[in-house]
Chains A and B, each alone.
Chain A
Amino acid sequence: MSSQSPESVRAGYSTLQAINPHSGVVWEVYLSQLQQAKTAKLGMGKTKELAYLVPETLMKPQAVFIGLRDEGDEGLCYVGSPSCSYRGTDGKQADPWVGQVYLVFVNKDKVVFSWRWERGVNGMPENYDKRFSKQVL
């Protein structure tokens, strides 16, 4: 991961705590306010997902992968199985989506840039062995 100073990316970003998959201790990652505003436009379901499921996945991942194999990058993918989902534009709490896992992508500068439900098998994303370079946690 980059050693870029957090100070250089903090303006316009919020800070979240996440598990550093390399050391197991907590570190800080960032998420742009632009992405937060985008999420609000999608309704309360997506807003609650960002508020609750993204932090939960970053702090309690069941796996973390490094690098997308076909891109050779150094980003991380945190994989979680949240205890619930938030649905619809009103954000009603419900059971997690059956057969799916929650993924949060973090780039090499420790910026969260994508998060979503995907199909999973045994708590792992489909084709994880072909998709990612290495499992680090």
Chain B
Amino acid sequence: MTDNSDFAASVLALPPRSQPFKPFAIYDKDGDSLELFLSDEDYRAERVDHLITVYISQETDRIVGSLIKGVSRIEKDLQTRMPGFSISIVAGKVRIDHLFLASMWSIPDLPLAQRVIYQRIAQEAERYAVQAEFCGTK
């Protein structure tokens, strides 16, 4: 590799999406994080706390996505503290709204303003029934 122009060329050669945008979530093992995209609008990120970063529309200021960090830690915590949550994981997939609520419950004394953000994201994820692969965590 001579410079990053090879990288740029390979990224720009990725096939463009062929269908209208649909909300989706993706788990990334390198960041041990799960990203949720509710829209394809331009966004900026705002860190809420050590678990959640929300993606805010550059144009409308509404939440258009989010990132949960430490997913494998949350998963382990759930298995020990809230074993009933395991029923939400079906065939290796988890509903994202459940994961956000579980993350919220994992933080003691979460301030109301942050709780509202967690709940709003969970509601949006529920509305679109977004699921993510939850297997293969570290």
Contacts and interface: CB of A to CB of B under 8 A. Distances in A.
A19 B11 CA distance: 20
Nearest to B27: A34
Contacts of B117: none
Interface string B68-80: 0110000000000
Contact of A114 (B3, B12, B44, B67): B67
Given A15-B1, A44-B16, A47-B12, A38 B26 contact: yes
A88 B57 CA distance: 11
Contact of A51 (B11, B16, B46): B11
Given A14-B7, A55-B4, A118-B46, A43 B40 contact: yes
A32 to B, nearest CB: 6
Interface residues of A, number: 51
B97 interface: no
Given A34-B28, A118-B44, A131-B47, A50 B17 contact: no
Could you say which interface size class chain B belongs to? 35 or more
Interface in B1-58: 1, 3-4, 7-12, 14-17, 21, 24, 26, 28, 30-31, 33, 35, 37, 40, 42-47, 50, 55, 58
A interface SS class: mixed
A60 B113 CA distance: 37
Interface string A83-113: 0010111000000010010010101010111
10 contacts: A17-B3, A32-B30, A41-B21, A44-B16, A45-B42, A47-B16, A51-B9, A51-B11, A68-B50, A97-B44
Interface of B: 1, 3-4, 7-12, 14-17, 21, 24, 26, 28, 30-31, 33, 35, 37, 40, 42-47, 50, 55, 58, 67, 69-70
